[in-house]
Amino acid sequence: MNRARRLPLAVHAAALAVAVAGSPAILALDLNVSGLIRQEMAYKLTGDENPFNQHGNVYNGKTVDNYVHTLFGLPPGITRPDYSESNDWNLQATRAELDIQATFSETLTGAMKVRAFHDWGVYDDYGDPNFFEVPLRGDCGTRLEVCGDDYMIDLPSLYLDYTNGGFWLRAGNQQIAWGESIFFRVLDVPNGLDLRRHNILDWASEEYADERVPGLGVRGSYRFRNNWELEGFAQEFNASIYSNENTPYNIVGAQFVRQEEETFDRVDDEWNFGARLRGQIGELGLQFIAVSRRNPDGVWRWTTSKVNSFTQAGLPDPDLGGVTLGQMLAQTPYEAFTGQGVFTAREWFEYAGLTRLDGANLQRQLDDFPAAKALTAGNGLPTSGVVDIPTSTLVLDAFFSPMLGLGDLRGHIERTYPREHIFGFGMNYMFYGEPDTLLDQLIVRFEATVTPDKKFTNIALGQDPTKETEWATSLVFEKNHRFTERFPATYMVLQWLHRSEADLFGRLVSGYDASATVSPPRGRDHYDAFALALQQPSPTLAWRFDLAVLYDAEGGYLIQPGVRWKPSKSYTVELYANFLDGDNGDAMGTVAWGDELGLRLGYQF
Amino acid sequence: MVRIRRYHRDYTRRVFVDRLSRGILAGGVLMPLWQAIAADGDSARAYPDEALSLEAYTGGRIGVGDTIDAGNVELVKELLDPIRYLQIERMGRRLQVLDTTTDIMRLSPWEYLEATLRHRGRALFAPDGNVVADDGGPWIGGNPFPEPRDGLEVFAGLTLSWGRHDVSVYATREEDIDDDGNVQYRYASVWAELAPVGRVALDPRPHWPGHEDKLRYQSVLFLAPNDVRGTSFLNIWHYDQNRYPDLFGYLPAFKRVRRYPTNQRFEPLIPGSTIYLSDAWAAGDPFLTWGNYRIVHQGPALGAVSRNWSAVHPDWEHSTHGGRKGLSFWDTAVEFVPEAIVVEAEPTGYPRAPVGKKRVWFDARTLLPLAMVSYDRQGNIFRSFDGAYSLYSDGATTVSDGAHPYWSWTHVHAHDVQTNRITRLQQVRALPGGHRTLVNDQGVYEKYLTQNALQRLGS
């Protein structure tokens, strides 16, 4: 072949050759788009309503004696208006998600998730509850969220990833999950939780994927010596988001008025920072963390109502000599004449117990709010030693008396977000034994954190938070074990959580075990809970049977059996039940009303 | 012209039967196979002409260009594993017949074969059962036992290097077919493997310093559909084949990488699939966690060992046929493989595995697996795994691995005959999201094969 002929052939061959290796670093924009639409519902299995809502208040329509009335010979019975409703559904909502992954080059990629959630509001509830608007970032929970009474649309993921060798940088809105314990958040401290959609009662094996509150930030890591990785993040602080009052999964008594806007505005430009070192030494995996963050769950305390209840209600405001009663009341945590407050001392103590608070300790409030003390003293009521049920009952029922006092009162609380520093470590270790014995390939994980001088909600809702150094540990045993040749292995996890000061939700255990007749709370020394999770897939994995159990050492529990059916590439059906029980001596009592049958029907594309 | 047949079909068959009965495993009939290959890369001289042709084997009834189907499959029953035979006889599977490829360099990656020749005779078993080079270190590349003496050596060679490249990323589409022949599930995924030892093309070689105690880094990342998007698993194989790989996984629900037990290798990773981790390359587990290796058959076979690349499709996708809906099987071209070795092994390290034993058909020339059939604990036939290979070159278009035309697998069937479910896999050019088939790119380690990568790629 002559040279003149060879050259065009070579050019032609080169043009046709597609190099798999050594491809150019710059690619055209390449998108991967997928998504889902899902109907999510939860049908109530009992007639119990959420007691934290007006329409589930356990005193609705009940007559309770006012102690002060009995002293003055007045008709003793006070009857809370009956706002009761009976619901069949706890949840009826539609979710749509759109995921887009973009590749800009070999080193630069990006991702965006759009999440839309609409609650159909098929509930008989009190008033016109607002499911999604919260006074944090504007009227919504995060910066990249739009919301209304019954919907929210947000971007839980919107970030760019840059990688270069062992270096990785992610910038944008993102969730950060650390640690290896599931459900028990020991090292998983960077983000708070958004409980507006289904609280923590959705499909348990998804853990907090839908709940973690994302934040704008930068997360980067560098891998070195093959097995070690140093990671750090700086992320704008976002608060945990609680369900609003009178919505199905509300966990804050609706007699409270939550003031969250002003206190969040004080810290809305604050950032959280964290670092993690993670590595592997043989069978031993290790990680160490240090985090400086604003506590996303916050610390609750009484705050002034800032409301002149008389003016607001169009009532004459009694002059107390240079100041009116309404003005004085505005400088206390209370708001009167709403019909939505606490009606009797008994209801007060009952709900203090439900909320894990010290209802008997009015002294703290009297000391924190001079106007409250003045009003109390002005009515000849005790202003010292008000730390037990008899004395507090006298004060409370005097104010709650519709004849002698103000009638029902709502209490205003605010949430602050103290900065705290968390130090922790985690380890995992794989045990080996004879093949297919129970100990073979058993993974043991242990995680521990310490938060020096952590600030907790004072159980009297005092202005000064309770400071304690908190230790949190989790011990996890995890294993796949094939019990029979006919079915794939059963995935089993057994976990133990120990916290020295607070429960699963961050509430001080000293506020445990109070009731309408017991206050101050008896408290607990510490918090211990156990979790068991089992997953048994069918041979084709088209079916998966789940069981998740959360057991509080003091007796409360969540048992969630479930089945997931994926009959085809597009459809998924998940059916599960939440069986809950507990009382004021354990954590699960807060949601003990919520037995339900959940169903999710999903179509993905 | 009358051609005198010096060796008829029965001569070759008698050679194989005689060797099997005497427990001898030796490649080649006329001369040692690898002596012929070493001479000029052509395996043909090791076999008589009559042992290189399906036409000769079938007495002229099936030849190059013909189709094997239900009407003629009886003629080649002994050349097929029992499940491929069943698929052709009862389910409408068809195989196109090609002439036999005798140029060994078209049957595996160039560098791998060169290393195999270069390192011939330098492999041995250490007291702990692992393969080491004559310097006592990890194996230095290529097949350590190109002239295997027993089944263990056959499996050791396959397990030490699956894809025969130092680094491979397979952009993969999977379709799972139900009993009625419908596509029930579709998945897109990326499978990555990197050899830190025994490297034949990439520097540093033969070993990547600091990683000599590892045999393989391997991960799988699912890209679609939405519910599995971002799910990924990273297997880090120890060089010590007595140990199970370390397994790390990222599940979108957990948003983080966690370590997982790894001994459950006999179940699908995703709903509907009939492929187990243990099936990978018919040698998906450390070879010392299986045992009782033995040669159960030697003889010719039909294998899809070359020319199965779909160059006509821009993403290299393949067409299908067979089954009730015409969707059950890839269109596949096979050729007459003059000598196959069938090795049986038992999962001795997995007492509750649903598999009681497996049989793997190897091309004696390349020691690549042609097909695998497994049996349940009761001895009933259970599942099969058969793949097709090719140079990614059709004369007009060539995909390069950097220095030579890219060689790899092109498509795979996995068939559970007890439930009659079939999984079809195919290697494609690219998948949405910027994931492409790659070869011998060391950057794959950072991109797919670290815990950091799993976290980054997760959704």
**Per-residue 3-state assignment (H helix, E strand, C coil) for A531-545:** EEEEEEECCCCCEEE
- Give the model's confidence band at A12: pLDDT under 50 very low, under 70 low, under 90 confident, else very high: very low
Tens-digit pLDDT profile for residues A369-386: 999 999 999 999 999 999
The answer to whether the CB atoms of B352 and A484 lie below 8 A apart is yes
Residues counted in chain B: 459
Phi, psi of A376 (to 5 degrees): -70, -45
Q: What is the pLDDT of residue A439?
A: 86
Query: What is the C-alpha end-to-end distance of chain B, expressed in Å?
Result: 69
3-state secondary structure chain B: CCCCCCCCHHHHHHHHHHHHHHCCCCCCCCCCHHHHHHHHCECHHHCCHHHCCHHHHCCCCCCCCCEECCCCHHHHHHHCCHHHHHHHHHHCCCEEEECCCCEHHHCCCHHHHHHHHHCCCCEEECCCCCEEECCCCECCCCCCCCCCCCHHHHHHHHHHCCCCCCEEEEEEEEEEECCCCCEEEEEEEEEEEECCCCCCCCCCCCCCCCCCCEEEEEEEEEEECHHHCCCEEEEEEECCCCCCCEEEEEECCCCEEEEECCCCCCCECCCCCCCEHHHHHHCCCCHHHCEEEEEEEEEEEEEECCCCCCCCCCCCCCCEECCCCCCCEECEEEEEEEEEEEEEEECCCCCCCCEEEEEEEEECCCCCEEEEEEEECCCCEEEEEEEEEEECECCCCEEECCCCECEEEEEEEEEECCCCEEEEEEEECEECCCEECEECCCCHHHHHCCHHHHHHHCC
Enclosing domain of residue B414: 164-457
Q: Is B437 a domain residue? A: yes
Helix (H), strand (E) at residue A13: helix A3-16
Directed axis angle between helix B110-118 and helix B33-40, to 10°?
110
pLDDT reading at A16 higher than 80:
no
**Mean pLDDT over each residue of chain A, to the nearest integer:** 93
Q: What is the pLDDT of residue A1?
A: 38
pLDDT reading at B206 higher than 60:
yes
Give the domain CATH number at B255. 2.50.20.10
Nearest to B261 among A212, A225, A441 (CB): A441
Contacts of A178 in chain B (CB under 8 A): 256
Least confident of A7-11, A243-247, B175-179, B290-294: A7-11
Tens-digit pLDDT profile for residues B144-203: 999 999 999 999 999 999 999 999 999 999 999 999 999 999 999 999 999 999 999 999
How many residue contacts between A and B have a Cβ separation below 8 Å?
209
- Does any CB of chain A come closer than 8 Å to the CB of residue B264? yes
| Mean pLDDT value of segment B285-293 | 97
Q: Is B2 a domain residue? A: no
Q: Which CA distances in Å does A443 have to A162, A478, B232, B237, B351?
A: 33, 5, 19, 18, 20
Q: What is the pLDDT of residue B42?
A: 83
The answer to whether the CB atoms of B244 and A209 lie below 8 A apart is no
pLDDT reading at A28 higher than 60:
yes
Structure-model confidence comparison of residues B200 and B2, the more confident one = B200
Q: Which two tokens stand for residue B59?
A: 């007495």
**Mean pLDDT over each residue of chain B, to the nearest integer:** 93
Tens-digit pLDDT profile for residues B348-358: 999 889 999 99
Tens-digit pLDDT profile for residues A75-105: 999 999 999 999 999 999 999 999 999 999 9
Amino acid in the structure at residue A464: D
pTM: 0.90
Least confident of A252-266, A410-424, B393-407: B393-407
Whose tokens are 């590349």? That residue is: B141
Tens-digit pLDDT profile for residues A34-47: 999 999 999 999 99
Nearest to B452 among A157, A168, A441 (CB): A168
Helix (H), strand (E) at residue A3: helix A3-16
Q: Which CA distances in Å does A323 have to A371, B207, B375?
A: 11, 86, 91
Measure A129 CA to nearest chain B CA, in Å: 30
| Mean pLDDT value of segment A501-506 | 94
- Does any CB of chain B come closer than 8 Å to the CB of residue A430? yes
In 10 A of CB B429, how many CB atoms? Answer: 17
Q: Is B213 a domain residue? A: yes
Whose tokens are 């706890």? That residue is: A90
| Integer Cα distance of B316 and B429 in angstroms | 6
Q: Which CA distances in Å does B316 have to A69, A100, A510, B368?
A: 87, 25, 66, 22
Phi, psi of B132 (to 5 degrees): -130, 160
pLDDT reading at A548 higher than 70:
yes
Q: What is the pLDDT of residue A307?
A: 95
Give B 165-194 residues with CB within 8 A of chain A. Answer: 183-187
- Does any CB of chain B come closer than 8 Å to the CB of residue A182? yes
Q: Are B437 and B428 in contact (CB under 8 A)?
A: yes
Tens-digit pLDDT profile for residues A50-64: 999 999 999 999 999
Q: What is the pLDDT of residue A18?
A: 43
For residue B343, list its beta bridge partners. B295, B360
- Would you call A319 helix, strand, or coil by DSSP? strand
Which of B259, B58, B142, B169 lies closest to A443, judged by CA? Answer: B259
Contacts of B351 in chain A (CB under 8 A): 435-436
pLDDT reading at B52 higher than 90:
no
Give A 200-219 residues with CB within 8 A of chain B. Answer: 205-209, 212
Q: What is the pLDDT of residue A485?
A: 85
Nearest to B434 among A30, A442, A605 (CB): A30
Q: Say what the alpha-carbon torsion angle B205, B208, B214, B217 is, to the nearest 10 degrees.
A: -90
Q: Which two tokens stand for residue A581?
A: 């029980």
Percent of chain B with pLDDT over 70: 97
Nearest to A34 among B211, B225, B406 (CB): B225
For residue A522, list its beta bridge partners. none
Q: What is the pLDDT of residue A7?
A: 35
Buried b (16+ CB within 10 A) or exposed e, A87-107: bebbbbbebebbbbbbbbebb
Give A 561-590 residues with CB within 8 A of chain B. Answer: 566-570, 572
Q: Are A54 and A133 in contact (CB under 8 A)?
A: no
Give A 519-538 residues with CB within 8 A of chain B. Answer: 537
pLDDT reading at A9 higher than 80:
no
Residue of chain A whose alpha carbon sits nearest to that of B420: A540
pLDDT reading at A351 higher than 80:
yes
- Does any CB of chain A come closer than 8 Å to the CB of residue B446? yes
Give B 290-319 residues with CB within 8 A of chain A. Answer: none
Residues counted in chain A: 605
Q: Is B86 a domain residue? A: no
- Give the model's confidence band at A420: pLDDT under 50 very low, under 70 low, under 90 confident, else very high: very high
Q: Is B78 a domain residue? A: no
3-state secondary structure A366-380: HHHCHHHHHHHHHCC
- Does any CB of chain B come closer than 8 Å to the CB of residue A509? no
Q: Is B136 a domain residue? A: no
Q: What is the pLDDT of residue A502?
A: 97
Helix (H), strand (E) at residue A76: none
Tens-digit pLDDT profile for residues B117-150: 999 999 999 999 999 999 999 999 999 999 999 9
- Does any CB of chain A come closer than 8 Å to the CB of residue B252? yes
In order of their start, the domains of chain A are 88-122+129-298+417-604 (2.40.160.10), 309-414 (no CATH)
Q: What is the pLDDT of residue A433?
A: 86
For residue B298, list its beta bridge partners. B341
For residue B158, list its beta bridge partners. none
- Give the model's confidence band at B446: pLDDT under 50 very low, under 70 low, under 90 confident, else very high: very high
Q: Which two tokens stand for residue A176?
A: 């950060």
Contacts of A486 in chain B (CB under 8 A): 354
Helix (H), strand (E) at residue A605: none
Least confident of A118-132, B249-263, B417-431: B249-263
- Give the model's confidence band at B16: pLDDT under 50 very low, under 70 low, under 90 confident, else very high: confident
| Integer Cα distance of B328 and B321 in angstroms | 6
| Integer Cα distance of A63 and A216 in angstroms | 51
Number of domains in chain B: 1
The answer to whether the CB atoms of B459 and A157 lie below 8 A apart is yes
pLDDT reading at A30 higher than 50:
yes
Which of A115, A149, A152 lies closest to A129, judged by CA? Answer: A149
Helix (H), strand (E) at residue A261: helix A261-265
Q: Is B45 a domain residue? A: no
Q: Is B111 a domain residue? A: no
Q: What is the pLDDT of residue A6?
A: 37
Mutate to test the interface with B, among A432, A569, A573 (most CBs of B within 10 A): A569
Phi, psi of A77 (to 5 degrees): -75, 130
pLDDT reading at B7 higher than 80:
no
Q: Which two tokens stand for residue A83?
A: 């706002």
- Would you call A149 helix, strand, or coil by DSSP? coil
| Mean pLDDT value of segment B260-270 | 86
- Does any CB of chain A come closer than 8 Å to the CB of residue B432? yes
Percent of chain A with pLDDT over 90: 88
